[in-house]
Amino acid sequence: MARLFSFRPAFTTRGREFHGLRGMAGKPLHPPLTDIPVGAYTLAAAFDVISVLTNGELARDLFRAGTFVLIGGGVVSLLTAATGVADWAGSTPRRTQAWRTVNAHALVMTTVTVLVLVLIALRMTVYADEPATPLLVLVLSVLAATLTAVGGAIGGSLVYDYGFNVETATDSPVWHESETDVMPGDKHAT
């Protein structure tokens, strides 16, 4: 009977070349790190919208929750940006469509990061004691989430349309019927 699950190849480091901040062959660092800021900025906007639509203690709690998730997302976005810069510097041929697309992605996401830092500062100083999300904060929060979606779409095009930093399998044995796992670096099933 054929095995039903294959976990080991996804978690092994054997056979994978290390690329510094870019990650390892077949395991780039930038894409998985993006999930935390994207989720945080989306949640913050949702919390802020609901805060404006409610009142009382719930409105205040949602405003504060939005602040906390923005701080968490902002902290992780610094490492995310560092890995993105490493990808840009280490694997983007200049003056190509891919390079222009990476530049567009970086511009949008840098704008988001600056906007989030402004939001955090406003929330923790000017609006620290507000009973609900103030209108300016709501607008900036929704703008940050919207720009995050735009930047994510551009980043998605890099990976899914251009195959940016994706090591293609071509005619890899992992697509052939077999009960033996192919480990990274292997050329064929053993």
- Residue 114: what are its φ and ψ, rounded to 5°? -65, -45
Structure tokens at 41: 């900025």
**Which tens digit of pLDDT belongs to each residue from 166-182?**
765 566 666 667 777 77
Listed residue (116, 103, 113) closest to 154, CA to CA: 103
Percentage above 90 pLDDT, the chain: 59
Predicted TM-score (pTM) of this structure: 0.83
Q: Which of 62-66, 76-80, 144-148, 169-173 has the lowest mean pLDDT?
A: 169-173
**Which tens digit of pLDDT belongs to each residue from 94-127?**
988 989 999 999 999 999 999 999 999 999 999 9
Rounded to a whole number, what is the distance in angstroms from the first to the last CA of the chain?
Answer: 18
